[in-house]
Structure 1
């Protein structure tokens, strides 16, 4: 395999590290690579697979002050590009302000999610919690031809070229970026309109804002969303005409918050509230629908069906798992990270815009999470959801499942023992018409064999396993969120000199 080292980070993690989210499948990667022609281990790369798979990664260079949480890791984006039956790979750290400052200092400057922000050595932190490092290591999307990374508890959006991963600085939105509040983990890009919808949240009233960025990177809509108090929303959804926000009964304990601490508590006596607002609606136009108490980390999709909005996501039967009294810190940490502890099930809410009533339906009895769909169906009626299954007791993804929400049929594929995957993106094949005419792509970390691969599945036939396997230059750290961008939506994708360099031709 032709490959080149283009950069290395200097890690200050301890040589005898035993943290479960910095070792094993979570062992950090410090090398940046260019591999213009990936080694094909098995199968063939489909010639109608055209575009890039991007995955963000919590990949620590420094351990953070105090207790380390996996979400504290520095962002690293992995890219696998496909064109004409060939594939190339590159990975780069996201050059956040926090990463640059800690590189200059040579040590950690901020406390992590599991600590009080007051332990940070710097006061100029980011996030809904304040005084924490904006690692930008949560999600990655492509908007207006640019790859954008985001942070778990609000922050800046960092921009990269989706073909070369060249650093393009922070999102500015022609001077209108909400620098005081930032953007939360999961901005949503509507492939049909080119718009990006987002929200943010914090500890001061009105506690949430909602906004829209147009295809020219202009902030064209931004309104307050009043909540009863500080909340912990993580994701949002949308339809052709509405944005969908939320107020779940899992949120910061306000007594602890007043003392400068942050601890999430579940309040089962309170309902789930789902907010529906016109995509360019005013603050007073939001309508709140009440449903069974739970927490939803990730939504799959939403669409309009007559008088109703159909909303699919992952209902948690146990939003606040309890650890044994004698549990270690690591065991207490993992209880909020493993899918089997939280008991996450694909679920459907129907919000009746005429009557205000809500009906609910469990769509699967299989624990899974991290849903993806064919992006062309986002905000429109969909049939298939592709999700990940989780290894028991830890934050690792051990397989994938395809849900047919019309028939209830499920197809599952489990990775080999000791192999863990990423959020699986759906890549429609060039010229496809059917919803599942395309490919599923994920990156795996094989601890036992000390290697990583890119796997390609036929989206219409998941159970047969990968139709192609590609070897990456080295074993990468476990990670979660990903996206797919078609070549047609990437600047310079078909420019000969750019693709010659990218593919090593």
Structure 2
């Protein structure tokens, strides 16, 4: 497990005085209390079993500590968020017999698919502890795919079928196996509570937050992907809604990927962007038309960790809008939100030649465009 810097909520910011801490150190220390003398075991199979037993014991100790320190509580949902309440996974294709309106004559057969936030275990949770409270944002539920199939028979009569299924990300599998909430919310909350929650998430799972995959579904290279801003996409099947696994083009992308990549006219390449709250703050990438490799990568060389939610493309240029929404884990330590809108700064638009470098970027300042 990698070294965690700042130990914190998102540990994704270049702190002036970072605390270097190996997340597995405490786990190793806890395990040493019950560590069997594996070095004296001559039978390799016995050594393997001893290591498995050690890992199980240390995991159990950590889980017990978290269950003792933190209590998961249902997070209230305000009226404007009722549309984001979770629904049950039905897992099978259901015929839709009740509908209104008419289908245009030239409408093609096919499937309409979307994903959205659908929290496990009845809804979003907050965590209460001796350190204080941490909250979830309304966007933090696990991704669920919703598919509506349009089929027309030889007489031109339409039939409609619906199916839904969770995007089975790595973290979804972790919590489903446990059959209870496991990841502690860290985006908002009291400073000490956020610090402790981030620490225990890294210690137990190797990362600070869940993979949401609840924002967009897109196609590239003949394959389909579900995605959100906080991780790389997951490949999915449009018919079965099965999740095939994570997609990292060329295995050379080392950060989250925007939820809204765009195909370039003519070449069919995919333009994407990834941001993190540590340098390099923002990277623009170009994926080959077949989706197999990353053919270009550009560091925007920003001086702050801005959120670029969308991408625009033309035949020759990539266009990004920086509306001054920044990410700062340091702000969470002071009891604020991970996100902040920099109202005192002008928004700006970046126009970048398709394969340009940082010096070729043209910035255009505009009035702030987020209220």
What's the TM-score once normalised by structure 2's chain length? 0.66
User: Is structure 2 residue 136 aligned with structure 1 residue 68?
Assistant: yes
Residues 22 and 28 in structure 1, CA contact (< 8 A), matched pair in contact too: no
State the match for 1:93 in structure 2: 166
Distance 1:194 1:110, change over 3 A: farther
State the match for 1:375 in structure 2: none
Query: How far has the Cα of 1:192 moved from its partner?
Result: 5.3
Query: How far has the Cα of 1:47 moved from its partner?
Result: 4.7
User: Is structure 2 residue 225 aligned with structure 1 residue 157?
Assistant: no
Residues 244 and 275 in structure 1, CA contact (< 8 A), matched pair in contact too: yes
Q: How does 1:54-453 map to 2 (within 5 A)?
A: 54-62=113-121, 63-64=124-125, 65=127, 66-84=134-152, 85-105=158-178, 106-115=180-189, 116=194, 118-120=196-198, 121-123=200-202, 131-152=208-229, 154-176=230-252, 178-179=253-254, 181-190=255-264, 193-217=267-291, 218-252=293-327, 256=331, 262-294=337-369, 316=370, 318=371
User: Is structure 2 residue 112 aligned with structure 1 residue 53?
Assistant: yes
Question: C-alpha separation between the residues in 2 aligned to 1:228 and 1:212?
Answer: 23
Question: C-alpha separation between the residues in 2 aligned to 1:210 and 1:80?
Answer: 33
Question: Is the partner of 1:134 in helix, strand or coil?
Answer: coil
Question: Is the partner of 2:185 in helix, strand or coil?
Answer: coil
Question: C-alpha separation between the residues in 2 aligned to 1:37 and 1:264?
Answer: 42
Distance 1:142 1:32, change over 3 A: farther
Question: C-alpha separation between the residues in 2 aligned to 1:262 and 1:18?
Answer: 18
Question: C-alpha separation between the residues in 2 aligned to 1:46 and 1:203?
Answer: 47
Question: C-alpha separation between the residues in 2 aligned to 1:182 and 1:124?
Answer: 21
User: What is the root-mean-square deviation in Å for CA atoms of aligned residues?
Assistant: 3.1
1:438-487 CA distances to partner (integer Å, 9 max, x unpaired)?
A: xxxxxxxxxxxxxxxxxxxxxxxxxxxxxxxxxxxxxxxxxxxxxxxxxx
Question: C-alpha separation between the residues in 1 aligned to 2:323 and 2:160?
Answer: 42
Question: Is the partner of 1:132 in helix, strand or coil?
Answer: coil
Question: Is the partner of 1:122 in helix, strand or coil?
Answer: helix
Question: C-alpha separation between the residues in 1 aligned to 2:81 and 2:301?
Answer: 42
Instruction: Report the structure number with the largest CA radius of gyration.
Output: 2
Question: Is the partner of 1:164 in helix, strand or coil?
Answer: coil
Q: Name the structure where strand makes up a greater proportion of residues.
A: 1
What's the TM-score once normalised by structure 1's chain length? 0.50
Distance 1:18 1:24, change over 3 A: same
Question: C-alpha separation between the residues in 1 aligned to 2:85 and 2:259?
Answer: 23
Query: How far has the Cα of 1:238 moved from its partner?
Result: 1.6
State the match for 1:339 in structure 2: none
Question: C-alpha separation between the residues in 2 aligned to 1:273 and 1:125?
Answer: 40
Question: Is the partner of 1:92 in helix, strand or coil?
Answer: strand
Could you tell me which of 70, 76, 85 is aligned with 1:27?
A: 85
Question: C-alpha separation between the residues in 2 aligned to 1:174 and 1:182?
Answer: 15
1:249-299 CA distances to partner (integer Å, 9 max, x unpaired)?
A: 3324686267696443333432212111112222322111111123xxxxx
- Structure 1 gaps, min length 5: 1-11, 295-315, 319-505
The size of the alignment, in residue pairs, is: 278
Q: Name the structure where helix makes up a greater proportion of residues.
A: 2
1:336-392 CA distances to partner (integer Å, 9 max, x unpaired)?
A: xxxxxxxxxxxxxxxxxxxxxxxxxxxxxxxxxxxxxxxxxxxxxxxxxxxxxxxxx
Question: C-alpha separation between the residues in 1 aligned to 2:113 and 2:300?
Answer: 31
Question: Is the partner of 1:90 in helix, strand or coil?
Answer: strand
Question: C-alpha separation between the residues in 1 aligned to 2:151 and 2:273?
Answer: 35
Question: C-alpha separation between the residues in 2 aligned to 1:118 and 1:192?
Answer: 50
Question: C-alpha separation between the residues in 1 aligned to 2:204 and 2:263?
Answer: 27
